[in-house]
Amino acid sequence: MSDKISIVLTGVGGQGVITAANILGKAAVNAKVNVYVSEVHGMAQRGGSVSCTVRMGNIFGPLVASGTADAIISMEPSEALRYIQYANKETKVVTDINSVIPFTVAVGGEEYPDLDDIFKEINSRSKLYKMDALNIAKESGALITKNIVMLGALAATDVLPFKSEILLKTILDNVPAKYKEINKRAFEGGMKAIKQS
C-alpha cells in the first residue's frame, strides 16, 4: 500500500456527499491517521454536481492529482464518469447504479448516456464495482442512508488504512440514537455488496 491514500467522493447536491467525506475525515482522526478533506459548498447545494476529496497518510494538501485516486465513490453513475480523470487502472470505482437525470437533459436538450456505456468506459479505465445502493438504503430503513451504504462499500475495498469498525463507530457516534440501527444496516449492506461482487 502506498503511503498516500486519495479518495474522491462524488454525487449530486443533496445525496450526502459532504457528510460522507466529513465522517470519513473524522474516522481517520479517530484512527490517528493524518487526514485532509476538501469540500464543495455554496452553489453546489442547489442540485449541482458535488465532489469531495479525502486524503490520508503522507500528504500535505487535500486535492487529488489526475490518475492518482485509490478509490472513487460515487452516489450516481454519470458523476463517477465525470471524475474518471482521477482514476488509473488500479483505482476502485464504486458507484450506485441509480441515475439522477440533470435538468439540462429536459431543458437544454442534452442527453443522459446509456448506463451500460457509462459502466463500460469506467471499467475500461479502472476497476468498477457497481451496486444498487439506493435499494440497500431502502431495505436498511431510510433512503437518505445511501451515503452510508457507499461508505460501507468503501470500507470493503481495503483502500482505507484503518479497520472498518473505526469507520462504523464514527458513523454511529455522529447520528442520533434512533437512527443508529438503520445506519448500521446500511453500512453493513454496503460492505456485503462489495464482498459479494
Residues in contact with other proteins by CB under 8 A are 12-13, 21-22, 25-26, 28-29, 34-49, 58-68, 78-79, 81-82, 84-85, 88, 101-108, 110-113, 117-118, 121, 125
Contact 106, 127 (CB under 8 A): no
Q: Pick between residue 58 and residue 197 the one whose CB is nearest to other proteins.
A: 58
* Burial call 66-88: b when 16+ CB within 10 Å, e when fewer: eeebbbbbbbbbbbbbebbebbe
Shortest distance (Å) from residue 84 CB to other proteins: 5
- Candidates 79, 61, 64; CA nearest to 7 is 64
Report the first-to-last Cα separation within the chain, whole angstroms: 22
Shortest distance (Å) from residue 182 CB to other proteins: 18
Cα angle value 14/19/20 (rounded, 5°): 105
Whole-angstrom Cα distance, residue 187 to residue 146? Answer: 9
Shortest distance (Å) from residue 86 CB to other proteins: 8
Q: Pick between residue 105 and residue 197 the one whose CB is nearest to other proteins.
A: 105
Shortest distance (Å) from residue 185 CB to other proteins: 21
Q: Pick between residue 1 and residue 43 the one whose CB is nearest to other proteins.
A: 43
Whole-angstrom Cα distance, residue 50 to residue 13? Answer: 6
Q: Pick between residue 7 and residue 156 the one whose CB is nearest to other proteins.
A: 7
Q: Pick between residue 39 and residue 132 the one whose CB is nearest to other proteins.
A: 39
Shortest distance (Å) from residue 40 CB to other proteins: 7
Shortest distance (Å) from residue 131 CB to other proteins: 19
Q: Pick between residue 125 and residue 192 the one whose CB is nearest to other proteins.
A: 125
Lookup: cell for 195: 464482498
Contact 152, 187 (CB under 8 A): yes
